[in-house]
Structure 1
Amino acid sequence: MSRSYQSPPQLSASTSSLIGTNRVPSEVEIVEIRGVLHDRRYRLASLAETSTSSAGSQMLYSLQKTRDALQGEVADLLALLSPSRRLSPELVAEIFELCLPVGGLSTSVFRANEAPILVAQICRGWRQVALSTPRLWTRMTIYLPLGHLPQSVWIAAIARASFASLLWLSRSGRYKLHLYVQYVRSDESDRSQVWLPAATELVSRLLLRHGSQIESLTVFLPVPCVSALLRISCTSLRKFMIIDHGLWWHGDYHLHHPPVPIGVYMAGQLRHLVLDTPAFDLQRTQYPWDQLTSLHLRQQFPINLVDSFNLLCLCRRLYTFKLNVVNPTGMVVSERFVAHSLRELWLYARPDDSGAFLGAILIPNLKKLVVGDAHHQNALLDFLGTLSRPLLSLRFHRIHDMPEEDLADALKFVPSLTELSTDSICHNLILMMMTPEDGYEPLCPHLQSLIMRLHLANEQLIELLEARCGTAFRDQGIAQLKTAHLTFMDFDLRDEAWEWDDVAWMKKVDQWRRQGVDLQLSDFNWNEGWDGAFVAAFGE
């Protein structure tokens, strides 16, 4: 008795039309798709058994073609059942936003293998979602690859960058924008003015099209390139940074071409301003100084003492002031300037210049002080003695030769500190003075964050950590350390001073970390320098 042949089930015309699209199948169509998928998988399994017992090249070739066709059908059917099809466009857009590079604009180039460009290449549906999600296109880094190209194609490269940036930003809708513009530097590009008009035109087009949307703008270009800021309204700009190392100037350029006045036309929206350029002329700028809350000036090129105080007179709402100051011989400030609004001061200077600045200013409400490059001990102590409110944070940045006794004397003036960071190497003196004992109040009893370089690790360090990372002295008003980043500068001497059981020590470290202490122990190799990061110590 012969068996009748039954043709394999097929998708209906309406369901077949879903293949190659992003449409979501209905419940009825899902049942139909699963039935056909079950049949194709069964046929593939049967085909695999048949191919093992078949002989002859012609038969194997036919079976292989059938298998490939079935595998293609299975892939199409599985794609129709993919859970991603049922995600709403709003949820897909949220996922795309989480895929954006996490680094700052200065390190994000937005390559083709990164979001948002990457997710826009997956399929037509996702591309449509990406292009219709303005928040994906609000951050952009524009690199002008001058240093990598011959001078003959510089203008064309800048024109392409201008077109690409405008196309990118056209997808941002009405959202606020964050832009970073930088040229790739080289000896040739640093000292050439050939590309300046094209770069100026690029900035002008960006500001003309999107100036009202830009919330933060960083320009690593010569000052003339941002002259458009004088005539274009940037009503949303709250953070502006311009960095110009001035290497493109030729000899006596400044004698024949006065500094280009730069400024921002806005209704007092600017809050954070960073200016690092030798072409910057304080008397010829147009900025809403009285609206600024954060001002960083010339980290590489110092300003003089009088100009710094003139700026403080204009910036009545300034909260953070960062500057590199120089005090020319013979320059004298008649009376101490009182900066009532300042809460943070970052001062970088040579010892005498630092002393001159601190000796000429009063900051009664200061909360954070950063002293960089060098310090004047007597002036620092006198300044700390004038503070009328508790100083909470003190940092000595890039000062590697500060005597431990000087640090101890400074800390005696600020018992209210909750944060301390120093780049100078400390020995046992500071550790002993910070270690609490019964009936003895240590230095900085309220300290919660400690970043310090140590000569080596020994028992004194253990006593400090046991006392300050735990809660044994809480009833005496001694705060518990929440952060301790300790770097050992002479780690090779560890065995000479270490008389502690390593296993017991690691158990203590684990215990403090479980209690919520951010404890990082690392060593520094003087021969190799910073190896990109701290080298983990104690076998971690």
Structure 2
Amino acid sequence: MARLPLELQSYIFVFVDSQSLPQKPDLNEAPILFLRVCRLWRDIALATPILWTQLQIDSFPCQTNYLEACAMWLKRARSLPLSVTLRGALRLDKNLQDLLAQCSPRLKDLTLVIDQILVKGPTSSEIMWKMPERSLASLKTLSIEPTGYYTYGYISEWLDILRAAPRLSHCKMINTLEDPDVLPLQPLMLASLECMHLGEPGDWNLRDNMGSNSLVILRYLTLPALKILTVSELDIADDAFLSFLSRSSPPLESLKMTLSHEEPWPESVVSRFLPLIPQLITLDLAAIDGDPILPFVDLLASSEVLPHLRTIVFRPNTAANIHYSRLLSMLKCRFTLCPTRLERFELNFTEYVDMPNEEVRVALQQLARDGLKIHIGAPGNNML
């Protein structure tokens, strides 16, 4: 090992380090372990700043020696962009806030793993994490992740973080609560945001019992560069969602959402919705209950609606009301008459369903022979 070129040894360290996530200040884990083997390895590790660009910080405990170890870790990264995971609660002590403030201009990726339900009102030893204006100027990716269904945050806090990150391109957020104790919230435009994932599946009880939902933050956002939108449940009023799309005019290419188990959108609303996303390439719709997908099927049976669509995925909650003849008419139109030919269609069920009648099956099989990729049935079990 000692006879290998130093550059090769450095490369090996980086490879080993990349396999040991999440990275924490642990004496027995890479990269700190490299410092304890011999002087040569220590010199190589300290001369390889990319080894120190990723770090997980636990907000509890925050003893002085722990924060000093984190500060030394980030210092060894020199001027390289940083990827930091903060695990705990957003109610951080002052020393940890100071450390984050020092490294925030270099943050490229930030992940907040929320372990605790946020409770309003500072205590004597804890204060809310406040983000100065544009303090996350280099941030490209933000992920706010829960550890359970009953974890949530306040819209005002998420907006504070977004407001500090004007160059954000990818964002994932958990469910949110309206905060009755703050002044009216100022709307925000994020001109660089291209990909957004909102909400977590299974949070419906949270919304019903605690007033939380996944899309409420869209009432305050304008996203003119949005290309990919994934929504765990369409749980805001249709007018609010249409208003967001109208003012953003996003070049949306991929939309994946679960339609609410409340009243489905009428065809009049769907007919207003689809023209707002004319560049869509992939449409993936799931249903919690009922049959809210049918209006989409009928409107998509027109070559003038979503002319660039290549992939359609429907995930109905039940197969009881599937209208195969109407699906077939839509697929024939998308495959033969649209400027961009449909390439893939999936109708995914989680339960056993009856097969389409023979006439429909023959027509679907002919479309498949002509080049349309079709899957109907449970994942891994194509009825055709």
Matches within 5 A, 1:33-432: 134=12, 137-141=16-20, 161-162=28-29, 166=33, 212-214=49-51, 217=54, 219=56, 223-224=60-61, 227=67, 228-232=69-73, 233=75, 234-235=77-78, 236-244=80-88, 260-261=96-97, 263=100, 266=103, 268-278=105-115, 281-283=128-130, 289-299=136-146, 301-324=151-174, 325-348=176-199, 350=207, 356-377=216-237, 378-397=239-258, 403-405=264-266, 409-424=272-287, 426-432=292-298
Give 2:325's aligned residue: 459
Instruction: Tell me the number of residue pairs that the alignment of Structure 1 and Structure 2 aligns.
Output: 331
Following the alignment from structure 1 to structure 2, what is the Cα–Cα distance between the partners of residues 322 and 354? 11
Q: Deviation of residue 289 (structure 1)?
A: 0.7
- In the superposition, relative to structure 1, how do residues 374 and 328 fare at CA in structure 2: closer, same or farther (>3 Å)? farther
Match of residue 337, structure 2, among 465, 473, 476: 473
Following the alignment from structure 1 to structure 2, what is the Cα–Cα distance between the partners of residues 359 and 163? 44
User: Which has more radius of gyration?
Assistant: 1
Scaled by the length of structure 1, the TM-score of the pair is 0.50
Secondary structure of residue in 2 paired with 1:213: helix
- In the superposition, relative to structure 1, how do residues 481 and 168 fare at CA in structure 2: closer, same or farther (>3 Å)? farther
- In the superposition, relative to structure 1, how do residues 384 and 165 fare at CA in structure 2: closer, same or farther (>3 Å)? same
Q: Which runs of 5+ in 1 are unaligned?
A: 1-129, 145-157, 175-204, 247-253, 514-518, 525-533
Match of 1:162, as an amino acid? Answer: E
More strand by share: 2
Deviations 1:104-130 (A, max 9, x none): xxxxxxxxxxxxxxxxxxxxxxxxxx9
Following the alignment from structure 1 to structure 2, what is the Cα–Cα distance between the partners of residues 320 and 363? 12
Deviations 1:427-477 (A, max 9, x none): 54321211126xxx3x32221232221434712222222322x3x324xxx
- In the superposition, relative to structure 1, how do residues 295 and 464 fare at CA in structure 2: closer, same or farther (>3 Å)? same
Following the alignment from structure 2 to structure 1, what is the Cα–Cα distance between the partners of residues 341 and 37? 51
Give 1:486's aligned residue: 347
Match of 1:536, as an amino acid? Answer: N
Following the alignment from structure 1 to structure 2, what is the Cα–Cα distance between the partners of residues 433 and 449? 16
Give 1:23's aligned residue: none
Q: Deviation of residue 297 (structure 1)?
A: 2.3
Following the alignment from structure 2 to structure 1, what is the Cα–Cα distance between the partners of residues 59 and 366? 55
Give 2:121's aligned residue: none
Match of 1:139, as an amino acid? Answer: S
The answer on whether the counterparts of 1:344 and 1:367 sit within 8 Å (CA) in structure 2 is yes
Match of 1:431, as an amino acid? Answer: V
More helix by share: 1
| RCO higher in structure (CA 8 A, sep ≥6) | 2
Match of 1:289, as an amino acid? Answer: L
Deviations 1:309-356 (A, max 9, x none): 222332121222322322123544254333333333333384775565
Following the alignment from structure 2 to structure 1, what is the Cα–Cα distance between the partners of residues 188 and 345? 36
Match of residue 509, structure 1, among 368, 372, 384: 368
The answer on whether the counterparts of 1:369 and 1:393 sit within 8 Å (CA) in structure 2 is yes
RMSD, matched Cα: 4.5
Deviations 1:146-173 (A, max 9, x none): xxxxxxxxxxxx86x43898359989x9
- In the superposition, relative to structure 1, how do residues 213 and 467 fare at CA in structure 2: closer, same or farther (>3 Å)? same
Give 1:436's aligned residue: 302
Q: Deviation of residue 295 (structure 1)?
A: 1.3
Scaled by the length of structure 2, the TM-score of the pair is 0.67
